[in-house]
Each structure stands twice: as structure tokens, then as C-alpha cells.
Amino acid sequence: MQALIKRWIISGLLLITQVANATPESRFNMPRGVTPISNAIYDLHMAIFWICVAIGVIVFSVMIYSLINHRKSLGVKPATFHESVKVEILWAIVPFFILVVMAIPATRVLIHMEDTKQADVTIKVTGYQWKWQYEYLDEGISFYSSLATPIEEIHNKAKKNEHYLLDVDHEMVVPVGKKVRLLVTANDVIHSWWVPQLGIKRDAIPGFIHESWMRISKAGVYRGQCAELCGINHGYMPIVVRAVSEKDYEAWVKKERDDITAAEALATKTFSAKELMEKGKSVYENVCAVCHQINGLGILPVYPAIKGSSVSVGKPHSRHIDIILHGRNAMPAFGAQLNDFEIAAVVTYERNAFDNNTGDVIQPSEVKARRNVKPNVNQKTAKKKPINHHHHHHAS
Amino acid sequence: MSEHAIDSHHGAPQSKGIVSFLARWLFTTNHKDIGTLYLWLSFIMFFVGGAMALVIRLELFQPGLQFVDPNYYNMMVTMHGLVMVFGVVMPAFVGFANWQVPLMIGAPDMALPRLNNWSFWILPFAISLLSSTMFMQGGGPNFGWTMYAPLSTKYAPPSTDFMIFSIHLLGLSSIMGAINIIATILNLRAPGMTLMKMPMFVWTWLITAFLLLAVIPVFAGAITMMLFDRNFGTSFFNAAGGGDPVLYQHIFWFFGHPEVYILILPAFGVISQVIPTFARKRLFGYHFMVYATASIAFLSFIVWAHHMFTTGLVLSASLFFMYMTMLIAVPTGVKVFNWVSTMFRGAMTFETPMLFAIAFVFLFTIGGFSGLMLAIVPADYQYQDTYFVVAHFHYVLVSGAIYALMSGVYYWFPKWSGRWYNETLGKWHFWLTVISTNITFFPMHFMGLAGMPRRIPDYALQFTDFNMIATVGAFIFGFAQLIMLYNIVASLRKPKTVDDQVWEGARGLEWTVSSPPPYHSFTKPPVANFDDMI
Amino acid sequence: MSDLPPPNVHRKLLWLVGFVAIGMFSFAFALVPIYNVMCKQLGINGKTGGATTYEHVTVDNDRTVEVQFIVTKNEQIPWHFKPNTHHVTLHPGQLKKVTYFASNDTAGPMTVQAIPSVTPAIAAKYLKKIECFCFQKQTLAGGKSANMPLIFHLDPHLPKSIKTVTLSYTLFDVTPKKESRES
């Protein structure tokens, strides 16, 4: 019997060892990660883990021994001892010292995390319901980063891709080896920015700013998720950080700036109905369908239908544009997140898809003009009535 | 030798008919009746809260949304937590306190019997109100049982105000219960039963009652501030008016951390009664068990911010809370060592109560280890708000508090009812429960470490396998509880065959009265040597 | 009936525990000012103080600190709000003025409150503001804009380890609601 127990204990320990040394993409253990912080955390985690295992093995062995040998059925008579001040003090003091031993490296790591050296790149991270916004303070670029997983995958109508729920439409790109300082806040409720491989989790609190930093040692793509319940789509606002060489980073910054200029130029172009429908379908499915659904039926009573709605088929269609620009009731404003071409496209799509068939074709210039006039969204209560809403891409 | 309570063996004041039945239960001031009411209420709510857990686990069986929309899911998560904490564990332990404290100290009843009645009858009303919020327009609370602002204030559904009212009522019931227990224990002990001769269960409830008294009002303050922010234009938790959402977290967790000790200390007390009985050996280190319990209670007040390590606390605060949290491991460890020492060189038998108590010691200790890991601030940056935390608190609450409740029910049921439960069914219930608990919650450690956040209805593909396993475990667990329900209901129909002593190794005043005890027991204080009973 | 002692046996204890319960309820509310005071005194939580005067301040010419200015428009209120200067480098003790551009892009008047927050949090109590648009609510008529000033300095006692201070303003809409809120 005792041999059997010994064998179980050894197998258990071997299993734990195997599990603990699993690969970074392990399904069992925390990743070691690619920053000094993530590595320090991993080592601390494993140290504490092994100490707990050791204590557990000792305590449980004594228990198991007792359960086997101190049974009435074996005919034993119960002992009568029931106190010992010496022993009580001993098993209070010894664990206390073990805790001190644990606390020292923990303290050291925590102090080292407060590194205030100059940062090379500073990024303001803002949590929204339900996406992230990244503003590169020194580069003058800013963009939203939303879940890119197609909604059919979420509703089990298409096969889930490898990075299901961990894909975004606009990644945060940072240079490898440089110190990146993150300034985290929120737009509405509390969110939390978490990327396990980077060892960073920072709550995003509306009205407050908190900082964290990372120095990524290895190029690659690192994925994380929002880590504070923030409403209905808390599980649908992932984070993707792509670490690239310094050269590639500079090239990316330049491309971002060029894209902004290009998007602004689109406001004057004229597009065919086909181009608008194609772009509109893509915008709709990536941005709108999460609430209004792929089939345009919404989820009543919370999310109205697009199909057959008075907004989508009624006149004037400027109301439709205004609602997307400025929001209405529970629907947030998308004027900052989407450019004129995207909004023109999605309005065109919504007015013609889902059997709406109004035949309306909206050009970006019309959207741009709506940004500067008093909007008409027909809200129940007199709320803010924007007449001039700028792009989120403001030059530094 | 103790005297049996001299009393006419008349039962409850109830004649035939439904009206008499209702009148008895509605107006009873008898601690045994009220204990029974609390226990049945909590048992029913256990299935309600459990059903909510199964909805959660059903949705999480596979990635993708299959059964519920994310808002309904968030509501299930919130209600599951609220129901289990306020509708199951707390009322169940109060039920135990009602039944056992007067019997264990040789008192005829609780100090304030009518207050006792009100304490109970508030609960069905409060719980119905809370449950009804799920059907109100906008849905029920969907912001987690922790109710962080501003998600729970500015962005919450209209039903939130009713939820706040319901929680006020639940809190009122707890405060009244705590007052009653303190008065009973301090003033109504049999002559000769000094504080250091009380059973451990009574000690843990005395300390728990003080914790309740201290922190439930703080919780009431926090939810009142929520109510004001929602309706009266205040800005306690709104930065726009100079407030701070993190202030909510401080106030909530100042209540919330002692609250989890409120959930576990009576469990410690039950285990301290059960193990000595079935080891046929006195509890090891009674005095130190009392000091350890008191230390845990004291320390529980100064660790609250360990729930907030990622909110941006300053270094000194993080360090202080880390050290204090780690320190709680010392008295908790002392208790575990004392239980093991009670078993050691005893002469154990393994009836169902003992099985649950032993499982408690094993599995609660594992929960304690994950708690110690969570205390380490830098590591907590990776654990916070992940399934690692979910694993931790389910280990301490399910295989901790719930197992202690089950152990206590099997232990005292023969005394309360005079009937034996079916031991075979008890063992089936035990083994299915223990195995399924581990199948459900052990993989959650891995899921959290591998990166799965909490409170999400859908997850990335790498978490699929463990989620499937956890769901299977959860369903086995859920259905296994029906065995206990059947066991109790069926056993209540059997003839009363249980003697006074019930368990060979049991010691204490409750084992000197009949099974079931007279409706009014210890009408005269007992005379006994209480040294032998602890 | 049971042979309980009469209820007034418990009276003194009941008064005491009732007092404790009520006291703890009040304590919860007391935590609000306690929290604010502790944050201000210990300089944690990144909250800056109110107006100060610039008197007897010795400029520390041996070092410079970079102060960054960032803004957030809470709930994407339709204002234009940005710092006209994105960062300054100055000596602790040196007085500096920066301005923020704000425009109310709506049809009617709106009132906003700018809430400051500083990181690193311990730097907050060293950021001394002489004049700031954040001291009171600001109302702008519809379509109007303004350049709002902030005059500040960094206390020379700012720990030498701090080289970068970020001041963040979050702009909240605090326009009094004329109609009743919809649910």
C-alpha cells in the first residue's frame, strides 16, 4: 500500500514537472513572455508554485498516512494528546519564515517594475465599449482597434479561424528593444489592458491615467484581451501588439500617416454604386453586425433592425448619416472611428441590402458636409446636437 | 453527567390543517424551526444558483455563442454570484447557527426570538425581489456580483435600484442575525461554560457575527452611494464630479474581503466539530484554534486591496497589502495543521460527514495555495481577472464552505430529525461531488494561467478542451446534488430511530438531548463538565 | 414557551452592537473624505490639488523634467479639445503657461468639467497649478471656442528619479439636464 502511494506521489510530481515546463503556447501554464517584466513574473510564479507544492506534499503525505493507518477498523485505539504549545509555535514560525523568503523576490520584482527611465515611444491606450484606441503621442497617429473576427464565426455559421476572438482590424505596432510607455485610460466604464506575453495588465479607469511600460525583446505578434467586465461585449475587445524591427516600425508610422492623408482625400472622390456596396458590406460586417446582426434584423428590443427600418428606408437619408456620425441613444458615435468614405459606403449598403432597395447612393462628400451642419437624429430627449465633428486623426 | 432537559416532550404548536401549518412556520420564534426554514431556503437557492451556473457552463462548453446572448450571460454570472453568496452560503450557516448555537451552549433559544423570525422572513422577500429584476425591462444586474462602478451606476439597467433595495434587505437580515448570535453567545451560555470552553463552532460563529456587524453596514454604505450616484446626481464614483470609480472598489472590498471570511469561518467551525467526532480524539490545540480564528478575522480587515492590484496602487500600498495577505496563511495553516493533528493517531471511521470534512481539508488547502500565489503582486498581474481566480475562489467556496455545509448536514441531520440518512446514498453523493468538483474547477487553474479572462461568454480556441471538461464536471456536480435532496426527503419519512448520542465519538451538549430534541430544550440550564466536551 | 431570561438582560449589549452597526455605516460614508484626504496627503492616486500661489520658489537648474499633456473626451462628447502644446521640458520650480484649445461643436451651450490625472501618481502632489481651467466648470455657447490657460510649475522637491510627468485631462459633459433623463 505504501509503495503504491509512493508511486502515485512520484507520478504526480512528474506530471507537474512536465506541465510546468510546457511551451510558451502552453495550455497549462503562464507564458514566459518577451519582456523583462513578464520573465520576472514567470520566475516568481514558478518559485511560489514549487514552494506550495512542497508544503502540500508534506501536509498531504501526513494526512494520507494517517488516513491509512489510524483507522478504527484496524483496531487502533485513539491517542489522547490534544495540545502542544511548542508545536503550535513551531508551525506558526516556520511558515512565517517561508513567507518572508517568498516576499523578498516579490518585493524586488515589484520595485523594478517602477522603472522611470525615459521612454522611446509613448502610446496612450483608451478603452471603449467595446474596442481600444491607440494614440501614438510622438508620431501624431491615432486609430481604433476592434475585433476582426467575422461575426459568422461567433454565431457558428463559419469555421473558427486560428486566432478566433484574438484578431483586430488595426494592430498596435511597436519597435523591438525600445522602451514603450503606455498611458492607460478609459472612455466610459472600467476596462483592463492585458497582454500575457508582455506581462502587462493595467486597469483603464475613466477620468484617470495610469502608466506601464514594456521593452519587447523578440519580434512577433502578441495577443491579449480586456480583463475587466465592461458590458455586453467584454469578451469581444481583444488586443494585438506586433513588435517589429525599428526600421519596419518607422516604415509603419509613415504608412499610417499616409493612410490618414489618403482617407481624407477620399472625401472628394466619387465612387460607383458597386464600389460603395462592396466597401459598405465590409464595414457593416466588421463594425455594425456585432449589434445589428449579419442579417440586419438586430436583437430586439436592444438593437434595432436595419432591415425595413424607418431610418434605413425613410427620408431624408441625411438622418441615417447623422445617426452614424453622432450616435443615438445607446448607439455610440462612429464619426471619429469611420472616415467619410466608410460611412458613405455603409449607409449605401444599409439602404440597399436586406431587401431595403432604396436605390440611394451616398458619396463621401455628402458625409463630410453633414459633419458641419446641425444633425437630425430624432432623439427622444434633447441631447447634444453636434454641428461640427472632427476626425479623430488630428495632427500633433 | 449532564441532566437531560426537563421538559414536556410536546412538539411544535401546530394542529391539523393548512392554516395551522402556515401559522406555525410564519410566526415561529423557535430557533429549531427558524433554523429549519433557513436551511430549506438555502437548499432551494442552491439549486437555483446551481442552475444559473449550468447555464454559464453550457454556454462555455464550446467557443462561439450557442445558447444565450452576452448580456443574458453577464446576468447569469452576476446572479449566480449574488445567489450563492447571499442566498445559499450565508443563510445556510445562519440556519446552522440557529439550530446548533442554543443547543451547544445549553440555552433554551436565541436571545431575541422574534427578531430571529424577522431575520428569516425578510429573506424570501428580498430574494424574490432580486430574482424579479431578471424579468424587468432592461434585464437584471449584469455587472458581476462585485458591481464595479461606473458599469453598475451610470451604465446599469433600471432594475439595479431594485437590486440595491434587495441587497439592503439581505444585509439587514444578516445584521439582525449577527446581533442575535452575539447576544445569545455572550449572555446565554450555561453556567460554567466560559468562553474558552465553548465548542469551536460557537466560537467561529461569535467571531463571524462580529465581522458581519462590522462590514455589512459598510456594504450598505457602498450600495447607498451607488443608489445616490444613479438617482440623485451625486458623484461618489464619477470622476466628472470629483469622484473616483476606484473608491467604490475600496469600499466594496473593505466589506468584500471580510465577507469571504464570513463565508468560511463557520465552515471551519463545522470541520472542527466533525473531525474530532470521527477521529474519536479531542480537537488538537483548541486554544490556538480560537486565537487563529481571531487572527484571521482581524487580518481580514487589512487585506482588501489585494483585489485591486491592477488598478494602479502606489508601491507602498501594493507592498503592504501583499505582506498582510501573505500573513493570513499563517493562522490558516495553523488550523489545517491542527485538524491533521486531530486525525493523527486517532481511530477514524469514514461516515459521510467525515468524508466531506477530510475532502474539505485537502481541497480547501489547495484553494489556499492558489490564494497565496494570488497574493504575490507581480504574479497577480497575470492572474487577476482570469480563470485562475475563478479556480481559487471555487476551491475555497465549493470544496470549502459548501463541503462544510454538507458535512454539517449529514452530521446533525440525525439529531435534528431523529432519522438516519441513507449512508450508501451519502457516500455516492460524496464521491460524485468530490470527483466532479475537481473535474470542474481544477482545469480552471490552467485556463487562467494560459490566458483566459473571466466573465466572458466566448473564448479563443486554445481554451476549448478544458472548458469542455469543466462543463461536463459541472453537470455531474449539479445532478449529484439531487442525491442529497432525495436522501433527505426520503429519510424524513422514516421512523425516528436515532438515539441521543448518534455518533460514538461525538461530544457536546447537543448529544445529551433526544433526537430530535424537544421543541423547547434546555428550559433549565444544564449542569455538566464542559472541559470534556471540547 | 421557553424559559428565556427577560429581554432587558441583553439591553446594554444590544445598544452597543446597534451602535457599532450604525457607526460602521457612517464609517462607509466617512471613507469618502478619508480617501480624498489620504490621496492628497500621500500624493497618491494621481489627483492634483487646487490653486496654489507661486511664492518663494527656487528653480532647480540642475535638471529638467518633461511634462506631457494628453486629453480624453469622455464618451466622445462632440467638442474639439486638445492641448496646444504637447509637451514642455522645464526645470522644477520654473513657471510655465500652456493653453488648451476647446470648441463646443454643438448647436446649444454646453458645460464641461476637465478632470486632471497625473502619472506617475506620486508626481501629482508636486504639480502646482496657479491658474487652471480645470478649477471650475467651463461653459461655451454653441459653436464657440476658446483657448484655456494652465499656469503651473513643478515643485523642486519632486523626486529626482522622476524625469517624465504626464498630465491628463478628461473632459466630461456636466451640462445640467433640462428634461428628465430617459432610462
In a shared domain, residues C16 and C86: no
User: Does B341 participate in catalysis according to the annotation?
Assistant: no
Per-residue cell: B313: 496602487
Mutate to test the interface with B, among C8, C25, C122, C170 (most CBs of B within 10 A): C25
pLDDT at residue A391, rounded to an integer: 35
Confidence of residue A374 (pLDDT cuts 50, 70, 90): low
Pairwise CB contact (< 8 Å): A385 & C80: no
Determine the 3-state secondary structure of B453 from DSSP: strand
Largest distance between two CA atoms of chain A: 96
pLDDT tens per residue across span B22-41: 999 999 999 999 999 999 99
For each of the domains in chain A, give its residue range(s) and CATH number, in order of start.
2-72+82-112 (no CATH), 121-263 (2.60.40.420), 267-370 (1.10.760.10)
Residue B190 touches partner C, C-beta closer than 8 Å: no
Residue of C17, C6, B370, C75 whose CA lies nearest to A133: C75
Q: Is the pLDDT of residue A322 over 50?
A: yes
Is C49 inside a domain boundary? Answer: no
Tell me which residue in C18, C35, C170 faces B250 most closely, judged by beta carbons: C35
Mutate to test the interface with A, among B146, B152, B338, B344 (most CBs of A within 10 A): B344
Q: The domain spanning residue C139 has which CATH number?
A: 2.60.370.10
pLDDT tens per residue across span B408-441: 999 999 999 999 999 999 999 999 999 999 999 9
Tell me which residue in C13, C46, C115 faces B183 most closely, judged by beta carbons: C13
pLDDT at residue C132, rounded to an integer: 95
Residue A110 touches partner C, C-beta closer than 8 Å: no
Helices (H) and strands (E) in chain A, counts: 11, 10
Polymer length of chain C: 183
In a shared domain, residues C83 and C146: yes
Single-letter residue type at A16: I
Pairwise CB contact (< 8 Å): B221 & C22: no
In a shared domain, residues C19 and C107: no
In a shared domain, residues C80 and C122: yes
Residue A207 touches partner C, C-beta closer than 8 Å: yes
Q: Is the pLDDT of residue A393 over 60?
A: no
Tell me which residue in A188, A394, A396 faces C75 most closely, judged by beta carbons: A188
In a shared domain, residues C83 and C143: yes
Q: Is the pLDDT of residue B284 over 90?
A: yes
Is C56 inside a domain boundary? Answer: no
Pairwise CB contact (< 8 Å): C21 & B242: no
Total count of domains within chain C: 2
Per-residue cell: C154: 513643478
User: Does B80 participate in catalysis according to the annotation?
Assistant: yes
To the nearest 10 degrees (0 to 180), the angle between helices B31-59 and B18-27 is: 90
- Backbone phi, psi, residue B17, to 5°: 105, 155
User: Does B145 participate in catalysis according to the annotation?
Assistant: yes
pLDDT tens per residue across span A98-142: 999 999 999 999 998 877 678 999 999 999 999 999 999 999 899
In a shared domain, residues C85 and C155: yes
ipTM for the assembly: 0.94
Pairwise CB contact (< 8 Å): B283 & A82: yes
User: Does B10 participate in catalysis according to the annotation?
Assistant: no
Q: How far apart are CA C15 and CA B148, in angstroms?
A: 34
Is C128 inside a domain boundary? Answer: yes
Question: With a CB-CB cutoff of 8 Å, which residues 112-141 of chain C face chain A?
Answer: 115, 117-121
CB C119 within 8 A of CB C46: yes
The set of chains that have 3 or more CB pairs under 8 A with C is A, B
Per CB-CB distance under 8 Å, the chain A contacts of B463 are 27
pLDDT at residue C51, rounded to an integer: 86
Residue of A46, C120, A198 whose CA lies nearest to B381: A198
pLDDT mean over B481-500: 97
Q: Which domain holds residue C156?
A: 65-173
Instruction: List strands edge to edge, sheet with C87-90.
Output: C87-90, C65-73, C164-173, C110-119, C138-140
In a shared domain, residues C116 and C152: yes
User: Does B335 participate in catalysis according to the annotation?
Assistant: yes
Q: Is the pLDDT of residue A380 over 90?
A: no
Q: Which residue of B lies nearest to A97 if distances are taken between CA atoms? A: B330
pLDDT mean over A60-67: 97
Pick from A19-33, A115-129, C17-31: least confident: A19-33
Residue B297 touches partner C, C-beta closer than 8 Å: no
Question: With a CB-CB cutoff of 8 Å, which residues 329-388 of chain A face chain B?
Answer: none
In a shared domain, residues C106 and C164: yes
Confidence of residue A388 (pLDDT cuts 50, 70, 90): very low
ω into residue B516 within 30 of 0, thus cis? yes
User: What is the DSSP secondary structure assignment for residue B348, as one 8-state letter?
Assistant: B
pLDDT mean over A60-64: 97
Q: Which residue of A lies nearest to C174 if distances are taken between CA atoms? A: A384
Residue B113 touches partner C, C-beta closer than 8 Å: yes
In a shared domain, residues C25 and C80: no
Residue B34 touches partner C, C-beta closer than 8 Å: no
Per CB-CB distance under 8 Å, the chain C contacts of B186 are 13
Residue C34 makes CB contacts below 8 A (sequence gap 6+) with none
HEC string for B193-236? CCHHHCCHHHHHHHHHHHHHHHHHHHHHHHHHHHHHHHHCCCCC
Residue of B8, C54, C123 whose CA lies nearest to A114: C123
Confidence of residue A395 (pLDDT cuts 50, 70, 90): very low
pLDDT at residue A98, rounded to an integer: 96
Class of domain B21-533 as given by CATH: mainly alpha
Q: Is the pLDDT of residue A26 over 90?
A: no
In a shared domain, residues C38 and C69: no
Residue B209 makes CB contacts below 8 A (sequence gap 6+) with B177, B178, B179, B181, B182, B185
Count Cβ atoms below 10 Å from residue B25 Cβ, excluding itself. Answer: 18
Pairwise CB contact (< 8 Å): A60 & B362: yes
Q: How far apart are CA A208 and CA B292, in angstroms?
A: 40
> What separation, in Å, do the N-terminal and C-terminal C-alpha atoms of chain A show?
75
Residue A293 touches partner B, C-beta closer than 8 Å: no
Per-residue cell: A210: 495610469
